[in-house]
């Protein structure tokens, strides 16, 4: 069966739409926690958090191993964070996951994954000629969503907190955000970390392929 480019474009567009909607709830795609699911039905039943909490619990070990394997220079701090998560010490785990996600993403893309003020694609490489480029762009779109995780610390209602931990409030010790220590917030932070490492790895690998191909052309 030969699949036309149009199939990949439509498929990528659907994934982008789903990724964006899930990011509004604080969930991010990883290699093991896919964005599939009947999103419309979940929205109607208000079950997005329940469904994706279960999915991310089930693939926790796979996500952990992926993070450790692809961010080896951060092994010590990531292992400590996962130990805290497994022990139910979510107050300790979440700040580490959030900080490391920001560090990984900024290192590769030269912008904060939490920056809601000036989000642009200027620093993102054009990789559509790469086999899975459109899928990369689809998942990358989730990092441009203005959501509770990257919101100002003044965003602190109970309804808003259902959509994820507030990084600014947590890191700055705001008293309105001292109730962040839950399993679901820790799983959301892990999904953000896994997504940051995944996208950074894909982008780095693509740059290497482009460099090698350009070198071959010069020869």
Q: What is the pLDDT of residues 22-62, one digit of tens each?
A: 999 999 989 888 766 677 777 766 799 999 999 999 999 99
Q: What is the pLDDT of residues 184-213, one digit of tens each?
A: 999 999 999 999 999 999 888 876 555 555
Structure tokens at 37: 């699911």
Amino acid 141: pLDDT: 75
* Higher pLDDT among residues 112 and 207, named by residue: 112
Phi, psi (degrees; rounded to nearest 5) at 32: -115, -15
Measured at the alpha carbon of residue 157, what is the angle toward residues 119 and 103, in degrees to the nearest 5?
Answer: 35
89 CB-near residues (< 8 Å, 6+ apart): none
Judge residue 193's burial from the number of C-beta atoms within 10 Å of its C-beta, 0-12 exposed, 13-18 middle, 19 or more buried: buried
Q: Which of 20, 211, 31, 17 is nearest to 132 (CA)?
A: 31
Q: Is the pLDDT of residue 107 over 90?
A: yes
Per DSSP, the residues of 178-212 read: TT---HHHHHHHHHHHHHHHHHHHHHHHHHHHHHH
Measured at the alpha carbon of residue 12, what is the angle toward residues 26 and 133, in degrees to the nearest 5?
Answer: 100
The pTM of this model reads: 0.84
Amino acid 67: pLDDT: 98
Contact 195, 52 (CB under 8 A): no
Amino acid 142: pLDDT: 81
156 CB-near residues (< 8 Å, 6+ apart): 166, 169, 174, 176, 177
Domain boundaries, the chain: 5-218
Write the CA distances from 35 to 3, 19, 51, 144, integer angstroms. Answer: 22, 6, 11, 16
């Amino acid at each position: 069966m030969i699949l036309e480019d149009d199939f990949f474009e439509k498929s990528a567009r659907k994934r982008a739409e789903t990724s964006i909607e899930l990011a509004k709830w604080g969930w991010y795609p990883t290699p093991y926690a896919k964005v599939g699911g009947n999103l419309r039905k979940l929205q109607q039943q208000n079950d997005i958090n329940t469904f994706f909490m279960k999915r991310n619990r089930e693939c926790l070990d796979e996500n952990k191993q992926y993070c450790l394997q692809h961010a080896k220079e951060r092994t010590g701090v990531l292992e400590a964070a996962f130990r805290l998560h497994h022990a139910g010490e979510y107050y300790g785990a979440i700040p580490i996951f959030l900080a490391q996600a920001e560090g990984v993403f900024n290192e590769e893309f030269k912008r904060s994954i939490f920056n809601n003020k000036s989000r642009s694609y200027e620093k993102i490489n054009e990789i559509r000629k790469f086999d899975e480029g459109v899928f990369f762009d689809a998942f990358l779109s989730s990092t441009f969503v203005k959501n509770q995780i990257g919101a100002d610390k003044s965003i602190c209602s109970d309804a808003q907190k259902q959509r994820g931990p507030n990084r600014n409030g947590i890191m700055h010790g705001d008293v309105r955000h001292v109730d962040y220590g839950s399993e679901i917030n820790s799983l959301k932070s892990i999904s953000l970390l896994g997504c940051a490492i995944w996208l950074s790895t894909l982008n780095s690998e693509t740059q290497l392929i482009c460099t090698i191909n350009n070198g071959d052309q010069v020869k």
